[in-house]
Structure 1
Amino acid sequence: MRRYWNFLLLLVASMVLLAACSKNDSASSDKGEKVTLTAWAWNVNVGALKEAAKEFQQENPNIELKVEDIGRLDVYDKLSTGLAAGGTGLPDIVLVEDDRIHGYVEAFPKGFLNLSEKGFDKHADHFPQFKKDLTMVDGKFYAMPFDAGPTGMFYRKDLFEKAGVKAEEIETWDDFLEAGKKIKKATGAYAMPLDKFKDDPIFRMMLNQLGVYYFDKDGKIDLTNPKAVQAMEMLKKFDDAKLIKDVDGWNGVVSATVDGSVATIPFGAWYYGTIIDQAKDTKGKWGVFLLPAFEKGGNRAANLGGSSWMIPASTKHPEEAYKFLEFFSTTKEIQLMAMEKYGLFPSLSTAYDSELFTSGVEFFSGEKIWQLFANEMKDIPTAYYTNDYSIALDESIKAQADVFNGKDVKKALKEAAERIKARTKREINRY
């Protein structure tokens, strides 16, 4: 019996010691010990993160941030592998595109920290509803909102002027269709570029502005929705009128931007950076107007792209990781830095009253393009991605290709919905 009690006391003591060690690990920076956080990100996000870390260290000298610049798809490969292995090899902080957040949380419900439990709800009012819907699961934040992609029509003023077209008079897609015909006749330029058989960004923007998407809020397949049919039929009108330039992927879009073979590029606000970097000689020839509505007075707001920050539950430094990300995501000056230097459009609404947003942009002839995008944010509907988004995207692109090859729109979208059902076992909304 004595040996049993000695063993029990030893076991309890060990548990207490282990708990104390765990507590010390998570709060080590408060005791003056050095903590190094690791973050995974890609492209321009890396530079923004590094600069923010320097600012953060001024008040938190014991917390360092090591940023690993990993390709976007490589991040997802490593993240998925690590989550499947129970968190092995994962960083403290990871950048995740908004269309993947719900899928990750659904697939790995214990894989990420619940940020609402850490207190992030107090910042909720500073972000637009659509961004909150993308970063929250079951009413709880699992990601801190970062950049967004409010959409617009980047257009060549010189081509519009040569054709006698005024951007401010374009209110609907039908208006733009007629304007596109005039522009092509006068200048030879197409209305817009699209990799017709490999991507569907214009269709996605149209769906979003109409308040629908591949799936509805309950996760049902929604490609047979009359609004989805309306969007695809509108896109077909442009193709029938030979106003869409068929380009080869991203490089094809950029080439069309540079050589002036398209009059507009419908994209997210982030495309500004590509224009000023790749088409330097066109300074002063650009403007921006909102996506045309489907009827006069209809919604002209949509989103394309955007990402947010998540904290894997396997982190050994949850408090420090949260503290840094809260600083990064909710500090106005940091978000302005990320936009001004790296073109990352902020979701943080407190940034919109700054001079950067209220003043004109020289490259765009002094137009207040950032104010236009900022005003749009509150009107952007939520797109519901689910963890089957990649499958739906694949089948939607096939449907678009079928339509461009002559298939009836309703039939093409119905067949796409059936294929998604077969691949995902999800229900289809019937209309």
Structure 2
Amino acid sequence: MAAVAAAVLGTSLLAGCASDDDSGNGSGSGDTDGKTVITVGLFGTFGFQEAGLYKEYEKLNPKVKIQQTVIERNENYYPQLLTRLGSNSGLADIQAVEVANIAEVVQTQSEKFVDLGKAEGVSKDDYFDWKWQQATTQDGKTIGLGTDVGPMALCYRKDHFEAAGLPTEREEVAKLWEGDWGKYIEAGKKFKADGPEGVAWVDSAGGVYNAVISSSAKRYYDEQGELIYKDNPAVKEAWDLAAEAASEGLTDKKQQFTQPWDKAMNNGTFATISCPPWMLGYIQDKGGDKAKDKWDVAQAPKPGNWGGAFLGVPEASKNKEEAIKFAAWLTAPTQQAKLFAERGSFPSTPAAYETPEVADAKHEFFSNAPIGQIFSTAAQGVPTQIIGPKDQVIQENIVNTGLLQVDQKGVSADKAWESAVKTVDNALDE
């Protein structure tokens, strides 16, 4: 679910949701007035073009022309990428890979990509260890460079908190649940007892589950690549807390990224939601002007990550050397800081956090919250997460098959878990 959200919505934050324009006409190489054309294949919204990074690179390299193609949804983009990797044809010089797919690509397609860890100007030390490892094989080949990360905070409605007698200042709000997702649920129970009529504590049980599990190092696979989701205490904790939120009537019973969820956001019918940086743009877009200054941002109980992507250079690239140089430049700390300032994509390179673009960043819509500091702190606490090849399949079914029944149909947590496990196992056997 997290991966789908990041793929569909991209990482736009400051300017709300947007879509990259589809420019260029496919992969391969060509000449435009004698220039080398580097093609870039993307999904969703990366914002490179809108932030002016393509034009900047072309100015620095007058003999290079950048062209991009964009498929809106990763669920359509990724199967096409796998097909083209299988045939070694139709590939762009640079291809994006979503975080939910990177483990599968690393394990099954690494020979189809250049080792960017050896590229000139690329340093492992520029990136978070956990981000670098996600795109690195067991024998040390790095097939992708991180574009962004999704460190999580909690967004909350100050007006609803005030009505419930809860603190409204972000530092005091964070203390309500500091270090423990269980405290977040307990705060929700107080909100339900004293809060405004018709306003739920949180948008959905699925949202609670995703927030909790995203702060765990182990989720569905162990270090050896074995499935552990049925017995992992972290999964059980996330499931139990999400089910408790539903059974205690703390949720707005919405499914994330649907029209009813959008409408609820616009109507202000829930008080909190887990927020990576790109979610801020979504809230601003759906909440509209009437929600300005009513939302604020506080640290989550535990640091977690929701979203992020990578850029890789296929071995079949027709402009391999130029593509390697451009991928390295595009993901360097300086460019990541610029992208954050223009589009809200939060950098995967800690060095960027020291730049004014990040360190001094505030969000006017969210009560002028110091989002640069909040998300930088969260990002530096994210655990090194083990991502397996079918993480996305497992999580989607746990949330959409299991928790949705608890949240919307009143099915018991035990029966819903049995149903979710059965659906997951059938999906993994396909």
Structure 2 residue matching 1:65: 3-state secondary structure: strand
Cα gap change, 1:41 to 1:161, in 2 (>3 Å):
same
Equivalences for 1:230-269 in 2 at 5 Å? 230-250=237-257, 251-269=259-277
2:307 to 297, 301, 305: 305
Equivalences for 1:116-265 in 2 at 5 Å? 116-119=117-120, 122-138=122-138, 139-166=140-167, 167-171=173-177, 172-184=180-192, 185-188=194-197, 189-194=199-204, 200-223=206-229, 224-250=231-257, 251-265=259-273
Aligned to 1:282: 291
- Aligned partners of 1:379 and 1:247: how far apart in 2? 29
Structure 1 residue matching 2:46: 3-state secondary structure: helix
- Aligned partners of 2:396 and 2:268: how far apart in 1? 30
Q: Deviations over 1:233-291 (max 9, x none)?
A: 11122111101111244133332222110001113221111223332222222211222
- Aligned partners of 1:364 and 1:226: how far apart in 2? 35
- Aligned partners of 1:330 and 1:33: how far apart in 2? 27
Deviation at 1:55, TM superposition (A): 0.7
Q: Deviations over 1:294-322 (max 9, x none)?
A: xxxxxx10011111111111001111001
Structure 2 residue matching 1:284: 3-state secondary structure: coil
- Aligned partners of 1:160 and 1:153: how far apart in 2? 13
Cα gap change, 1:101 to 1:173, in 2 (>3 Å):
closer
Cα gap change, 1:425 to 1:274, in 2 (>3 Å):
closer
Letter in 2 for 1:133: Q
Deviation at 1:39, TM superposition (A): 0.8
Query: If the length of structure 1 is used for normalisation, what is the TM-score?
Result: 0.81
Q: Deviations over 1:13-48 (max 9, x none)?
A: xxxxxxxxxxxxx9x99xx95210111113431554
Greater Cα offset, 339-348 or 306-315: 339-348
Cα gap change, 1:208 to 1:248, in 2 (>3 Å):
closer
Structure 1 residue matching 2:166: 3-state secondary structure: coil
Structure (1/2) with the larger helix percentage: 1
Aligned to 1:21: none
Letter in 2 for 1:230: E
Deviation at 1:143, TM superposition (A): 0.4
Aligned to 2:370: 368
Are the equivalent residues in 2 in contact too, given 1:50–1:67 (CA < 8 A)? no
Q: Deviations over 1:51-87 (max 9, x none)?
A: 21111112211111111122233321321211121x1
Letter in 2 for 1:378: Q
- Aligned partners of 1:365 and 1:50: how far apart in 2? 25
Are the equivalent residues in 2 in contact too, given 1:221–1:417 (CA < 8 A)? no
Are the equivalent residues in 2 in contact too, given 1:50–1:65 (CA < 8 A)? no
Q: Deviations over 1:398-421 (max 9, x none)?
A: 343465544454x76577557655
Letter in 2 for 1:216: D
Letter in 2 for 1:175: K
Q: Deviations over 1:127-179 (max 9, x none)?
A: 11221121212222110111111111111111111211121331233333233
Q: Deviations over 1:354-395 (max 9, x none)?
A: 223333332222321221111111211233332222432244
- Aligned partners of 2:80 and 2:342: how far apart in 1? 28
Aligned to 2:81: 79
Structure 1 residue matching 2:347: 3-state secondary structure: coil
- Aligned partners of 1:46 and 1:356: how far apart in 2? 16
Q: Deviations over 1:168-225 (max 9, x none)?
A: 331233333233233334212111112x5xxx44323312323321222222222211
Query: If the length of structure 2 is used for normalisation, what is the TM-score?
Result: 0.81
1:400 matched to 2:403: yes
Structure 1 residue matching 2:273: 3-state secondary structure: strand
Are the equivalent residues in 2 in contact too, given 1:49–1:67 (CA < 8 A)? no
- Aligned partners of 2:427 and 2:45: how far apart in 1? 35
- Aligned partners of 1:271 and 1:48: how far apart in 2? 21
Structure 1 residue matching 2:226: 3-state secondary structure: coil
Aligned to 2:320: 318
Q: How many residues align?
A: 384
Larger Rg: 1
Equivalences for 1:343-358 in 2 at 5 Å? 343-358=344-359
Aligned to 1:296: none
Are the equivalent residues in 1 in contact too, given 2:202–2:273 (CA < 8 A)? yes
Cα gap change, 1:412 to 1:385, in 2 (>3 Å):
farther
Deviation at 1:422, TM superposition (A): 5.9
- Aligned partners of 2:174 and 2:214: how far apart in 1? 22
Letter in 1 for 2:311: W
Structure 1 residue matching 2:389: 3-state secondary structure: coil
Letter in 2 for 1:174: G
Letter in 2 for 1:173: W
- Structure 2's unaligned 5+ residue stretches are 1-27, 168-172
Are the equivalent residues in 1 in contact too, given 2:150–2:308 (CA < 8 A)? yes
Identity of aligned residues (%): 25
Aligned to 1:291: 300
Letter in 1 for 2:188: G
Letter in 2 for 1:258: N
Structure 2 residue matching 1:366: 3-state secondary structure: coil
Are the equivalent residues in 2 in contact too, given 1:257–1:265 (CA < 8 A)? no
